[in-house]
Amino acid sequence: MTETPAPVAVRLRGITKTFGSNTVVQPLDLDIRDGEFFSILGPSGCGKTTLMRMITGFETPTDGSIELDGRNVDKVATRDRDLNMLFQSYALFPHLSVYENVAFELRVRRTPKAELDGRVREALQLVRLADFAERKPSELSGGQRQRVALARAVVGRPAVVLLDEPLGALDQKLRKEMQFELKRMQREVGITFIYVTHDQEEALTMSDRIAVMSAGRVLQVASPIDIYDAPASRFVAGFIGSCNLIPARMEAGKAICSGFGAVPADTVDAQARGVRDGDEVVVAVRPERITLHADPALAPAGAARGVLAERVFLGDEWTVHVSTQGAVLTVQVPSGENGAALAALADGAEVAVSWTPAAGRILPAEEAAA
Ligand SMILES: Nc1ncnc2c1ncn2[C@@H]1O[C@H](COP(=O)(O)OP(=O)(O)OP(=O)(O)O)[C@@H](O)[C@H]1O
Ligand SMILES: [Mg+2]
C-alpha cells in the first residue's frame, strides 16, 4: 500500500435531482477513488438508483457537475462515458448463447474478431462460466445468469461499473457465494465498482468504503469498520447492525438518563464532535459490547440492574432483552459458560448489565432537519 490515495474516478459536486416539487437527491459532494469498491447503502426510495442513473448519464441532474477520471461529463452522452451499469432488473437476450450475450456490446463496437474472442473468453473465465459459453440463458440457474450479466458489464473493460442491487433476485445462499465472487472479480480486474444495496451486511462485507443514504442525503462516508464502530448519527447507528439507543441528556459533561443515572459513554469523543451540556442525546451501544451478569451481586460498580424480559437461542449465541429503568436493552450473549448461566435463569429474574465507556457512543437525539 502506498501513502498517496488513488486518483478520483468519479467526482460529484453539488449533484441534485428534483422530480416536480420532489427533491429526491439533495445537493451532494462525493469522491469515489480509482479501483475502489464503493457501496451506496440506504432504505428503499432514498435515491440510490437516481444517483446511479445521474452518474451514468441516463438521468440529467437538476444541478451540479460530474467528473469521470478528471474530465467533466455534464454534456457527455452515456455511451461516451467510460462506464457500464448493471441494472436492478437486468435482462439477457434469451435467443442468444451465453457467449453471444457477452459478446454483444463488442460486436456493436465492431471489435476485431480475434480481440473479441479473447475478451469474451476472458470475461467468461472471470465469472467461472467458461464451460457454459454455448448454453442459452434458459438453460442456466439464476446465479449463473447473474454471472453472465456481470461478464457482459465488464467485458468492455470500462473504468467504472455501477451495479444496482445485482444480487437482489438471488436466494440467501447464492447471494453469499456471489458476494465473494464479485469481490474477487473486482480485485482481479481492478475496475472501480459502485455498488448499490439496501443490505447492510452485504455492504459491510464487500466494500472499501460505504456511503449511507437516507431521504436523498448522504449521511456518512467511511470504511465498513468506521461506519459500524463510529456512526456519525442516530440513523447510521440504527441502520447498520443492531444498536441500543439510550435516550439521555448532557449534564456536567456526562450523558444522564433518568432512571439509569450516568450512562457509560465516550464523553471525550462526544465533546470533540461538538456535543455540549444541555443537549438531548442518545447513547448508542452495540448488543455484543454489553456484558450480562446473571448474578447482579457480582456485577461491577456502575452496572445497571434490570430484569430478564426475553431471550432467544441462536446456536452460537443468545439474544436477550433486559428491561432496565432507562430502556429495554438488547444484549448478545455468546453460548458457553455465560450462556449456560443465562439458560438456568427464570424469566423475570434480576440481572445486571455493564459495558465500558468506550463502547457507548454519544449522538445527537435529533437528525439534522431534512
Ligand atoms: N422518473 C421519476 N419521476 C418521479 N419520481 C421519481 C422518478 N424516479 C424516481 N422517483 C422517486 O425518487 C425517489 C428515489 O427513487 P430511487 O429509485 O432513486 O430510490 P432507491 O433508493 O433506488 O430505492 P429502491 O431501494 O427501492 O430501489 C422515490 O421516491 C421515487 O419515487
Ligand atoms: Mg433502486
Q: Note the pLDDT of residue 4.
A: 76
Same domain, 64 and 173: yes
Same domain, 105 and 225: yes
Same domain, 219 and 287: no
Q: Is 46 in the pocket of ligand 1 (CB under 6 A)?
A: yes
Q: Is 217 in the pocket of ligand 1 (CB under 6 A)?
A: no
Q: Note the pLDDT of residue 150.
A: 87
> Whole-number mean pLDDT of the chain?
91
Average of pLDDT values for 327-342? 86
Strands 37-41 and 192-197: parallel
Q: Please say whether the beta carbons of 64 and 28 come within 8 A.
A: yes
Q: Please say whether the beta carbons of 98 and 134 come within 8 A.
A: yes
Kindly give the distance from the C-alpha atom of residue 199 to the centroid of ligand 1, in angstroms, as a whole number: 17
Q: Note the pLDDT of residue 326.
A: 78
Q: Please determine, for residue 55, whether its predicted confidence score (pLDDT) is greater than 90.
A: yes
The enclosing domain of 256 has a CATH number of 2.40.50.140
Q: Please say whether the beta carbons of 255 and 362 come within 8 A.
A: yes
Same domain, 159 and 260: no
Q: Is 47 in the pocket of ligand 1 (CB under 6 A)?
A: yes
Helix (H) or strand (E) segment spanning residue 326: none
- What's the Cα-to-Cα distance from 48 to each of 60, 63, 131, 196, 217, rounded to whole Å? 15, 17, 35, 7, 10
Strands 317-324 and 244-251: unpaired
Q: Of 194, 229, 264, which residue is a domain's last? A: 229
- Condensed to tens digits (0 to 9), the pLDDT of residues 162-175 reads 999 888 777 788 78
d(C-alpha 293, C-alpha 281), whole Å: 27
Residue owning the nearest CA to atom 28 of ligand 1: 45
* Nearest ligand for residue 58 CA: 1
- Residue 328: inside a domain, yes or no? yes
Same domain, 294 and 322: yes
Q: Is 49 in the pocket of ligand 1 (CB under 6 A)?
A: yes
Q: Is 2 in the pocket of ligand 1 (CB under 6 A)?
A: no
Kindly give the distance from the C-alpha atom of residue 19 to the centroid of ligand 1, in angstroms, as a whole number: 9
Give me the number of domains the chain comprises: 2
What confidence tier does 273 reach under pLDDT thresholds 50, 70, 90?
confident
Which residues have C-beta within 8 Å of that of residue 125, sequence separation ≥ 6?
none
Same domain, 211 and 269: no
Average of pLDDT values for 211-234? 95
Q: Note the pLDDT of residue 258.
A: 81
| DSSP 8-state secondary structure symbol assigned to residue 367 | P
Q: Note the pLDDT of residue 190.
A: 87
Q: Please say whether the beta carbons of 84 and 33 come within 8 A.
A: no
- Residue 156: inside a domain, yes or no? yes
CB atoms within 10 A of CB 54: 22
Residue owning the nearest CA to atom 20 of ligand 1: 45
For the chain, the distance separating the N- and C-terminal CA atoms, rounded to the nearest angstrom, is 39
Residue-number span of the structural domain to which 324 is assigned? 242-364
Helices (H), 98-199: 98-108, 113-126, 142-154, 172-189
The enclosing domain of 201 has a CATH number of 3.40.50.300
Residue carrying C-alpha cell 450480562: 292
- What's the Cα-to-Cα distance from 135 to each of 64, 141, 146, rounded to whole Å? 45, 11, 14
Q: Note the pLDDT of residue 72.
A: 96
Kindly give the distance from the C-alpha atom of residue 18 to the centroid of ligand 2, in angstroms, as a whole number: 16
Kindly give the distance from the C-alpha atom of residue 169 to the centroid of ligand 2, in angstroms, as a whole number: 13
- Residue 67: inside a domain, yes or no? yes
- Residue 21: inside a domain, yes or no? yes
| Packing angle of the helix pair 113-126, 142-154 (nearest 10 deg) | 140
Kindly give the distance from the C-alpha atom of residue 219 to the centroid of ligand 1, in angstroms, as a whole number: 18
Q: Note the pLDDT of residue 368.
A: 53
Q: Is 41 in the pocket of ligand 1 (CB under 6 A)?
A: no
Q: Please say whether the beta carbons of 60 and 204 come within 8 A.
A: no
CB atoms within 10 A of CB 6: 13
- Condensed to tens digits (0 to 9), the pLDDT of residues 192-214 reads 999 999 888 899 999 999 999 99
* Sequence-ordered strand ranges (E) for the chain: 8-19, 22-33, 37-41, 63-68, 71-72, 83-86, 160-164, 192-197, 209-214, 217-222, 244-251, 254-257, 261-262, 280-285, 291-293, 304-313, 317-324, 328-334, 350-354, 361-364
Q: Note the pLDDT of residue 88.
A: 65
Kindly give the distance from the C-alpha atom of residue 161 to the centroid of ligand 1, in angstroms, as a whole number: 20
Average of pLDDT values for 23-45? 95
Same domain, 224 and 246: no
Pocket test for ligand 1, best of 17, 25, 49, 89 (most atoms within 8 A of CB): 49
Q: Please say whether the beta carbons of 109 and 156 come within 8 A.
A: yes
